[in-house]
Structure 1
Amino acid sequence: MYKILTLNKIAACGLDTLPRDNYEAASSISDPDAILVRSQDMHSMELAGSVKAVARAGAGTNNIPIPQLTEKGIVVFNTPGANANAVKELVILALLLSSRPAIKANAWVNGLAGKGDEIPDLAEKGKSQFVGPELKGKTLGVIGLGAIGAMVANLAISLGMEVIGYDPFLSVNAAWSLDHNVKHAETLDAVYAKADYITIHVPQTNDTKGMINASAIKTMKDGVRIINIARGGLVNNADILAALESGKVAALVTDFASEELLNNEKVICLPHLGASTPEAEDNCAVMACKQLRDFLENGNIVNSVNFPKTVCDNPIPAGGTRLCICHKNVPDVISKFTKILGEAKLNISGMINQAKGELAYNITDVDGKIPEETLRALVGIDTVIKVRPIFG
């Protein structure tokens, strides 16, 4: 029986993918095998030693202490692309709101309450203060062409926009999904120089934090409109407020509210609505639960943010053992595994080893049950982080 601790409300359609005869999922559970989380901050949590994995029902993992979990050999999953359509639609809405001041217009019209029969004429006379440009024919710069960025770029093309995209790590799958009319920029400066609108779709890292700053804004077109539905830290608030005041930037739409951005007539702050659709929540829950189940039952890793993708399509040998080993990516580790297994007279029927930076993950199938002393010997290797046996 696998025990799953849920830190937030996880959509029932996701939990339903976990067979009830072999899984117990609850918000209060002792010694869980894994954790399902959405937005709850885990940085101050003390995890039980039984935890083998954490699955985030969403793309961002800022609420998870990844380095600390990695040191313990705990695999962290996310669900990239599961909420992509929801975010794409919000980005398109943000583009429209950055151009057409519909929110201000609505507030102004509501202020006419009590004017009775005069309202139609007053509304007609006052509409000129809410003029805004069309998207058609304008240039959209898309920074980051992953699942969301590519969808935004393609839809912008269908709206009649020119699109220029920048992504130095563009995957083959993402490239195939892009409309052929999307132009590829070699540098960020090329995007900044041409774009009337800029939308950001990159993770927040040490390299990207504060990337939209005074230096970057200086190279942009006058009157540029900036959309940030990705991560709040990508934009330097002080710098963009100065640019809004000077008129260099015409508007900012952000999904990340902060004190200094509120009540600025050129800023639209949303309360992190990117994935706030029932469809996105369902998709993320299903994806997270399926990945967690595949890891717990088969040892497979797909969409981990800390360990490499490693998938073994073969079933665990009947009566045998599958070893799932988190280890440092250094020379001579595999030979140490095979030596220990050989000394225990255990036949290796299959092996996969994948690396990601300084870390690696190994799946080794052996015939027969592994004795405890053999497991202890594997754990005792100084470059091994964690060993988990799954018995067939």
Structure 2
Amino acid sequence: MADGASFGVLVLNQISKAGLERLPAGRYRTGKDITAPDAILVRSADMHAMDIPASVRAIARAGAGTNNIPVAALSVRGIPVFNAPGGNANAVKELVLAGMLMAARNLPSAQRFVEGLDPADPHLDKTIEEGKKAFAGFELGNHTLGVIGLGKVGALVADAAIKLGMQVMGYDPEITVDAAWSLPSQVRRAASVEDVLKNAQIVSLHVPLLKATRHLVHAGNLRLMRGDAILLNFSREGVVDDAAMVAALDGRQLGCYVCDFPNPLILRHPRVIALPHLGASTREAEDNCAVMVAEQLRDFLENGNVRNAVNFPDVSMGRGSAWRVAIANANVPNMLGQISTTMAHAGLNIHNMVNKSRGDMAYTLVDVDSAVEAPVLTALAAIEGVLAVRYLPVSA
């Protein structure tokens, strides 16, 4: 879109004002009634059945997970899906700590006991003293916490647990270099999921829901856990086989299950603490996520730069000229050669170029020394394997 033109952003959920303010009103139109939008801002709305307009160039999810977005279908159209990794990490960490404390000290059961007391009981103090014996718990210090998934949330949970005096063991076969550097040195490396389940009294799950992680905790490995162990799941519902977990609770193979995903299988189970998906439900987390994705979205719409897209490589390049072309394409041989040749045939001199790939997707930014005419953009779009072409000039 040419410099000076406005961008329309369709907003599917209530998005923090702090984030929307990063899309200045003079250039951006935001709301729930935007027609032919250039982008879509979303939180939890399910987009799988949505007819996403052909005008859309990007999707931005004000949160970490993108299960509600048809990422694969959008990739085919050359549309990046942005998210906010780490934007709600502290909020989730604090809720995990709250879950550990609720389970270790039997707080939900104790609260239900208090709510059932009779204010008119003449022996209320005695009733309380007698009743509290059923809710004796244990302190977290010196117990072992196992963390499965050592991304931003897992690392924060591990660090907080160490500060509480706990021993921590962690497992993550896909850990990144940055995540490894941020991990406290006291975390003992586990050899497998089974190693964690067998040796930790408290286990906290922090993995995305993928084909490889669905029912990561199942009947087979639940048998390895201690009968008084606590399992916490604040990642995704499908990571735990709920039927197997309930059977483990009933068979005294597991002490307590704490999660953020209520469902009919676990509701009202006496040793399940289920919260109503509160992980990111803080003012701070909503602001952080909205600000992060709004800034990413703006940089993409105006400059073509990509940061934190779940289906695109990270590609950023400072402006070297007033004329920029952004190209999303399949990651196949000779794409750069064809792009360069097409521009050369049009008499365009390439000032700067960057190309990166991620799996089947590649992305190219090209700054040229003169204006790009419409026939050149049409020729670029016609190259086999090119998914999307955008022209991003700026005023002199």
Task: Give the structure-1-normalised TM-score.
Answer: 0.97
| Corresponding residue of 2:311 | 306
Q: Secondary structure at 1:391's aligned position in 2?
A: coil
* Deviation at residue 257 of structure 1 after TM alignment: 0.7
State the Cα deviation string for residues 348-373 of structure 1 (Å, max 9, x = none): 00111010011111111112111111
State the distance in 2 between where 1:236 and 1:97 align: 22
State the distance in 1 between where 2:279 and 2:307 align: 23
> Which of 309, 323, 326 is the aligned partner of 2:325?
323
Contact 1:298-1:316 within 8 A present in 2 as well: no
| Corresponding residue of 1:273 | 278
State the distance in 2 between where 1:219 and 1:103 align: 26
> Which of 344, 352, 355 is the aligned partner of 1:353?
355
| Corresponding residue of 2:58 | 53
The letter of the residue matching 1:99 is A
| Corresponding residue of 2:380 | 378
Q: Secondary structure at 1:260's aligned position in 2?
A: coil
Contact 1:6-1:35 within 8 A present in 2 as well: yes
Structure 2 gaps of 5+ residues are 1-5
| Corresponding residue of 1:37 | 42
* Deviation at residue 220 of structure 1 after TM alignment: 2.5
Larger deviation: 8-17 or 166-175? 166-175
Contact 1:166-1:191 within 8 A present in 2 as well: yes
Residue 112 of structure 2 is aligned to residue 107 of structure 1: yes
* Deviation at residue 172 of structure 1 after TM alignment: 2.2
Residue 386 of structure 2 is aligned to residue 390 of structure 1: no
> Which of 157, 177, 186 is the aligned partner of 1:152?
157
Q: Quick one: percent identity of the two aligned structures?
A: 45
State the Cα deviation string for residues 77-113 of structure 1 (Å, max 9, x = none): 0000000000000000111112111111111112113
| Corresponding residue of 1:136 | 141
Contact 2:380-2:386 within 8 A present in 1 as well: yes
| Corresponding residue of 2:70 | 65
| Corresponding residue of 1:200 | 205
Contact 1:316-1:391 within 8 A present in 2 as well: no
| Corresponding residue of 2:3 | none
| Corresponding residue of 1:343 | 345
State the distance in 2 between where 1:77 and 1:216 align: 35
> Which of 249, 257, 263 is the aligned partner of 2:262?
257
* Deviation at residue 18 of structure 1 after TM alignment: 1.1
* Deviation at residue 176 of structure 1 after TM alignment: 2.1
The letter of the residue matching 1:388 is R
* Deviation at residue 116 of structure 1 after TM alignment: 4.3
| Corresponding residue of 1:10 | 15
The letter of the residue matching 1:253 is V
| Corresponding residue of 1:296 | 301
State the distance in 1 between where 2:388 and 2:54 align: 11
The letter of the residue matching 1:86 is A
* Deviation at residue 192 of structure 1 after TM alignment: 1.8
State the 4+ residue runs in structure 1 displaced beyond 6 angstroms.
Answer: none
Structure 1 gaps of 5+ residues are none
* Deviation at residue 316 of structure 1 after TM alignment: 5.1
RMSD of aligned alpha carbons:
1.0
Larger deviation: 362-371 or 78-87? 362-371
* Deviation at residue 222 of structure 1 after TM alignment: 3.2
Contact 2:381-2:388 within 8 A present in 1 as well: yes
State the distance in 2 between where 1:26 and 1:232 align: 31
Larger deviation: 221-230 or 34-43? 221-230
| Corresponding residue of 1:228 | 233
* Deviation at residue 120 of structure 1 after TM alignment: 1.7
* Deviation at residue 114 of structure 1 after TM alignment: 2.9
Contact 2:320-2:351 within 8 A present in 1 as well: no
Task: Give the structure-2-normalised TM-score.
Answer: 0.96
